[in-house]
Amino acid sequence: MKEAFSRAEFIPRPDWDVLTLIDEAPHGIVSSSGILWHNNRRFTLRQLRDLGMGKSSLVGAVQQQCLKLRETLAKGAGTAVVINHQLHLSVINIIWYMVASRQFDAENKRLHEFVDLLSDLVILSNRLAIKDFMPWMQNVMPDFLFKRLIKYHEMMDMKEKFLQFFREEVEEHKATLDPNHPRDLIDSYLLEMEAKKDDPETTCSERDLMFLMFEMFSAGSETTSNTFTWVCCYLAAHPQVQRKLHAEIDEVLPSGALPTLAEKSRMPYTEAVIHEVMRACSLINFGVQHMAASDTQLGGYTIPKGAVVSTTVTAIHYDSRYWDRPEEFRPERWLDENGKFSMVKEGFLPFGVGKVFLFV
Ligand code: HEM
């Protein structure tokens, strides 16, 4: 995986409809390749660093969502509750904050509409895999039947609803934009678009911005909320780990205090649990697929131009060459002899590798 994805030949994405959502051209980051991918990725990384990741305003937004989540979950304490949906709402709200400086009340109708739309789209887009994996079917079926099979019209309607959501947001941002104080991803993109308006090589456009916004939600929400759901599952299955984690939280955070990144270094066991969950659940096993840009060699195999290249992270996360007794859930493996968290693990790749990894 490391050999492949640190090489430029393996950066492009396949031109799959499941990634582009049958748009006329790729947009954003996840479905794009080449200069568009490069520009959007660089912009988004800078954006996440400048306005979000690790900054106090984002920490405040996360804390606020945590409090709301705790309040909601407390109502169901002592009974069996499905937590995934609540987690999803909180994560989506935080992404709304990063993208558009917006946070909705948990009961807000618009938020629920948006979350339902996102979930429906994820399910519906699976249909597009028929087109991507068995393109020949289009040639043996009448067009109307094939479109019905892949739910083409439903997909187009849904995409339009999303774009409408984002369009309204972009229009509102345009009307209130202060060039000296960009508030969020939309403001920064609008400023970048304006700065490059005379550049014939610019890849900025409003449609691209709307797809980029969509990708923040589609790539960032289920990944994060499902990881938290796995944290809960593993803690339920390993009560001794849960007790130890709880003890560390109680020790570092006085009753009622909310965590910030400043406490991170004093919570090695918490970090170890999160990392061990990410290893054990290997959430995005197949990653997001890439495509070979040219005929090339990899690990002694000839990979032809256009071949789709996929990962199998579970194989690495459960490989005994990297992990002692990999099938055991053991957060302690992340701690050194002094109980300090040690992140350096060669076989740990939950976010992908090198150039393809958004947060490096
Ligand atoms: C636990 C949480 C997350 C996990 C496990 C995860 C995992 C991944 C993986 C495996 C990839 C594919 C890398 C590749 O191309 O091979 C990816 C790409 C991506 N992720 Fe995440 N991710 C998470 C959270 C997020 C969040 C919160 C955001 C944004 C708000 C995000 C945005 C993206 C984007 C835009 C890409 C495409 C990057 C590119 O093409 O260069 N992810 N992620």
- Tell me the CA–centroid distance for residue 220 and ligand 1, in Å: 6
Residue 101, pLDDT > 50, answer yes
In which band, very low, low, confident or very high, does the pLDDT at 51 lie, cut at 50, 70 and 90?
low
- The rounded distance, in Å, linking the Cα atoms of 70 and 76 is 10
Within 6 A (CB) of ligand 1 lie 29-30, 41, 95, 215-216, 219-220, 223-224, 227, 283-284, 287-288, 350-352, 356, 358
Residue 359, pLDDT > 50, answer no
Residue 222 sits in a domain whose CATH number is: 1.10.630.10
Average pLDDT, the chain: 91
DSSP at 48: I
Residue 241, pLDDT > 50, answer yes
Which pairs with CB-CB distance under 8 Å and at least 24 residues apart come from 37-45? 37/11, 37/12, 37/13, 39/203, 39/204, 40/203, 40/208, 40/212, 41/358, 43/188, 43/189, 43/192, 44/185, 44/212, 44/216, 44/358, 45/358, 45/359
| 133-173 residue pLDDT tens | 999 999 999 999 999 999 999 999 999 999 999 999 999 99
The dihedral region occupied by 191, where left means phi > 0, alpha psi between -120 and 50, and beta the remainder, is: alpha
Which atom of ligand 1 has the smallest separation from the CA of 215? 35
| Residue nearest (by alpha carbon) to ligand 1 atom 20 | 219
Residue to mutate, 2, 7, 223, 353, ligand 1, most ligand atoms under 8 Å from C-beta: 223
Beta-strand ranges (E) seen in the chain are 290-291, 296-298, 301-303, 308-309
Q: Which domain holds residue 21?
A: 2-356
- The rounded distance, in Å, linking the Cα atoms of 288 and 219 is 10
| 270-325 residue pLDDT tens | 999 999 999 999 999 999 999 999 999 999 999 999 999 999 999 999 999 999 99
- Tell me the CA–centroid distance for residue 264 and ligand 1, in Å: 22
Residue 53, pLDDT > 60, answer no
In which band, very low, low, confident or very high, does the pLDDT at 337 lie, cut at 50, 70 and 90?
very high
| Residue nearest (by alpha carbon) to ligand 1 atom 43 | 351
The domain total for the chain is 1
Residue to mutate, 6, 53, 351, ligand 1, most ligand atoms under 8 Å from C-beta: 351
